Amino acid sequence: MNIGNYKAYISAETMMGPNSVRILAELFDKFPLQLLSDDIILDLGCGTGLTSLIIAKETRAKVFANDLWVSAEENRKRFVEWGVGEQITPICEDANNLRFEKEQFRALISIDSYHYFAGSKGFFQEKILPFMKDNGVVLIGVPGLKDEYTGCSEELLSDWLGKDAYMFKSPKLWKELIGGNDRIELVRTWEMDCFSKAWNDWLATNNKFALRDRQYFETIIKPYTCFVGICIKLKRAL
């Protein structure tokens, strides 16, 4: 995936944290999706729809762009402006109460959002797996804690994140939380390579949240955190 193709869309207005395009690009480069135009992808926690735009253009598949914080109407206007209004369906629903058809999605992608709602054991099997087709793929990129600091997120990150520090989990812990199931073929987690570039893009903006993050980058964010990549592959139908 060539990130340069999307520079015009990446801005302080469309970013809601470290550059989601770089996180998405690493996932796509490691695990390329082979999809058909009538396949459907769920972009779960799509924010301003930046990742949904790229998913649509890179895969040519249909995309459902779901976010709880950004309204469907707001994203619909952006998708129309970006020329992908017919390919992407914006939705505004809670990830804990999704109302889709069973086994509807060939792929699910979640960038910088999964940690907000999925940090408990059994969530994937109960809330996500029922909507996935056999032989489907789930690709997730979330901010997390380096493996060597597993279990220490609140101790290390509270000055920066306050009560939300518990959401940051290590690759090792995320693998345990995803767990197993008869339909799951593979769960892989790792520390992503895009950490520095994604953060640098964000910290270079004048977004008020980026300005605050700058204060903690060298002392907390850089030493202890990472981006956690998660790939879940489902088995083919018997």
**pLDDT mean over 94-98:** 94
What are the chain's domains? 3-234 (3.40.50.150)
Residue with tokens 């598949």: 61
pLDDT band at 37 (very low <50, low <70, confident <90, very high): confident
Q: How far apart are CA 191 and CA 169, in angstroms?
A: 11
- pLDDT tens for residues 127-138? 999 999 999 999
Decide if pLDDT at 94 tops 80. Answer: yes
Confidence of residue 36 (pLDDT cuts 50, 70, 90): confident
Would you state the pLDDT for residue 54?
A: 97
Report, as an integer, the average pLDDT of 7-21: 93
Look at residue 107 and tell me whether its pLDDT is greater than 80: yes
- Model's pTM, two decimal places? 0.96
In terms of Cβ atoms closer than 10 Å to its own Cβ (0-12, 13-18, 19+), residue 100 is middle
Tell me the pLDDT band of 238, cut-offs 50, 70 and 90: confident
- Between CA 35 and CA 32 the distance in angstroms is 9
Which tens digit of pLDDT belongs to each residue from 174-227? 999 999 999 999 999 999 999 999 999 999 998 999 999 999 999 999 999 999
User: Do residues 33 and 137 make contact, with C-beta atoms less than 8 angstroms apart?
Assistant: yes
Give the orientation angle of helix 20-30 with respect to helix 50-59, to 10 degrees: 30
